[in-house]
Structure 1
């Protein structure tokens, strides 16, 4: 299993055609995962998806990979390639700016893009003594795309 210590990611960059293809393959699974994550978090901590409050599931998941996958990073592991993607959610524009989700997918070796697997969404949950807690599934434009293992 990859960790921050065991994977070296390339620098953030605009997606190439192979990344667009990989994210397009997992798109139906990704949209279901977004809806499920919001539903699950809303049960116990609605702050996680608060930037999407008032949006329908359809509006939240109405993005186009070719236009809205704005940045990727990837790194090779013994079991394939981990690809991180920053996807713009066009329906989210608020006082924090545009909204983005960070997605992790996996492309096993030697088979092309048809076996790409959705892995997870980045949900930032931090609690530090003396500071306000943070719950954030929708990131800002300046949130760096970094390895996460959720």
Structure 2
């Protein structure tokens, strides 16, 4: 598996048609992962998905790639292309502003979108304050949170 030192990501940019096709290919898997992750985290650390508290699974996953994939970054690896995407969650707009999930997918070479694979959703786990105490768990990111390499 690639690491941040091995992948030279493009600058953040609006998605092109190929990225839209790739994310649409795994959209169902992304939505199922959002639901499963929230349920799992709610058992262990409910703050992780707190921005979605009170939202049904349907409301939480009412997003489309065409309307809500707002930014991507890509990086070539020996086994294809890693694509990171920032997807808006329309049902989340709270005191922190709009909500976004950061998603990682993989596009192996030479087969079009037919072999695109969902990889993971970024979760900010226990970001530490100046004293070293964990204080921030966040699966739904703020708009200003940069779309960076992650390996989760």
Q: Aligning the two structures, in what range does the TM-score lie when normalised by the shorter sequence? A: over 0.9
Partner of 1:31: 31
Matches within 5 A, 1:92-131: 92-128=92-128, 130=131, 131=133
Residues of 2 paired with 1:127 and 1:59: CA distance? 27
CA distance in 1 between counterparts of 2:15 and 2:127 reads 33
Gaps of 5+ in 1: none
Kindly report the root-mean-square deviation, in angstroms, between the aligned alpha carbons of the 2 structures.
Answer: 1.0
Pair 127,146 (structure 1): closer, same or farther in 2 beyond 3 Å: closer
Q: Distance in 2 between matches of 1:133 and 1:88?
A: 24
Give the alignment's TM-score, normalised by structure 2: 0.96
How far does the alpha carbon of each residue in 1:11-35 deviate from its partner, in whole angstroms, 9 at most, with x for none? 0000000000000000011100000
Deviations 1:110-142 (A, max 9, x none): 111110000000000134362442100000010
How far residue 39 of structure 1 moved from its aligned partner, in angstroms, is 0.3
The Cα offsets for residues 50-90 of structure 1, whole Å up to 9 and x where unpaired, read as 00000000000000110100000000000110000000000
Task: Give the match's secondary structure for 1:75.
Answer: strand
Q: Hey, what's the Cα distance between the residues in 1 that align with 2:127 and 2:139?
A: 15
After TM superposition, the runs of 4+ consecutive aligned structure 1 residues lying more than 4 A away are none
Q: Which range is displaced more, 128-137 or 69-78?
A: 128-137
Aligned residue pairs, count: 150
Residue 20 of structure 2 corresponds to which residue in structure 1? 20
Instruction: For structure 2, list consecutive stretches of 5 or more residues without a partner in the other structure.
Output: none
> Using the alignment, how far apart are the partners of 2:73 and 2:127 within structure 1?
27
Aligned to 2:136: 134
